[in-house]
Amino acid sequence: MPRPLRIACLQTRPMPSVNSALDEALPLARQAVSAGAQFLFLPEYCGGLASEGAALVPPAHEENDHPFLASFQGFARDHSVWIMIGSIAVKGNAGKIINRGFVLDPEGRIISRYDKIHMFDIQISPTEVYRESARVAPGEASCLIRTPFAQIGHTICYDVRFPHLYRDLAKAGAEILCVPAAFTKKTGQAHWHVLNRARAIENGAFVVSSCAVGAVEGGGEAYGLSLIIDPSGEVLGDGGETPGVVMAEIDLDKVGEARGKIPSLTHDRPYNMS
């Protein structure tokens, strides 16, 4: 029997303050709910993002006093909708922040937290350098969320390059793998579609990847092209290069069908390096 779920990715622009981020995200959230979405997915650093040279400097607050989180908790309650906040900047220890995502239930309650594990420390060119670890403390635990619809794996952006994380989530029962992101335009053009489709195909899972789009104040640009991908690797929704809402109705029974046809999750074997 089909298990349908109507989902929406909110493709927002990276905004330099929490207030401007709310002004960006809330109208898209209202649009998605009006169109029948049951579960909303927001990008990485959807609560605000800016940069200073090689460092990302998103506006950060204590979790229990974060205005973006509080506002979307109220939105979830008011509209009886599930929400994945891809990530916001939460104050941590020793002057660092945490790149933390949340899932909210229709009562606005926080049912999961995920701190991004893999830090985006790369050098694309002599002039394009990113050092997320300069300001951000990495997480240490994966995140599997149990909802009435499905089990969901929450990851963030650069995590997508570490396939063992998704393998472990899928083996633990994840039927939807999420990759909220503010993927850089240059790496996005080269790798975004390929990486997300690969994670779907190799794990027989839906992949839902809401990605910010547009220029980052202080330097850099997010790629956009938010994706909804089925377990066979078919792209059901693509956000393109402008802000907006990407919607699709997914049938979660397709996960079992895909894993039944190609049960690779049960075929992993130990091996030695020669």
- CA 44, 180, 8, 153: dihedral to nearest 10 degrees? -130
9 noted as active-site residue:
no
Q: Which helix (H) or strand (E) holds 30?
A: helix 18-34
The C-alpha atoms of residue 212 and residue 223 are separated, in whole angstroms, by 7
- Neighbouring C-beta atoms of residue 136, cutoff 10 Å: 24
The single residue of 24, 44, 132, 175 carrying the catalytic annotation is 44
- Neighbouring C-beta atoms of residue 254, cutoff 10 Å: 19
Q: Which helix (H) or strand (E) holds 258?
A: helix 253-261
The single residue of 9, 24, 46, 116 carrying the catalytic annotation is 116
Q: Exposure of 198 by Cβ count < 10 A (0-12 exposed, 13-18 middle, 19+ buried)?
A: middle
Helix axes 18-34 and 67-79, enclosed angle (nearest 10): 20
157 noted as active-site residue:
yes
The C-alpha atoms of residue 115 and residue 49 are separated, in whole angstroms, by 17
Write the CB contacts of 165 (distance below 8 Å, at least 6 apart in sequence).
117, 142, 155, 159
116 noted as active-site residue:
yes
User: Contact, 12 vs 48, CB < 8 A?
Assistant: no
The C-alpha atoms of residue 138 and residue 200 are separated, in whole angstroms, by 25
Cα–Cα nearest to 251, from 177, 149, 173: 149
Q: Which helix (H) or strand (E) holds 169?
A: helix 163-171
The single residue of 157, 185, 211, 254 carrying the catalytic annotation is 157
- As annotated, the active-site residues are 44, 116, 157
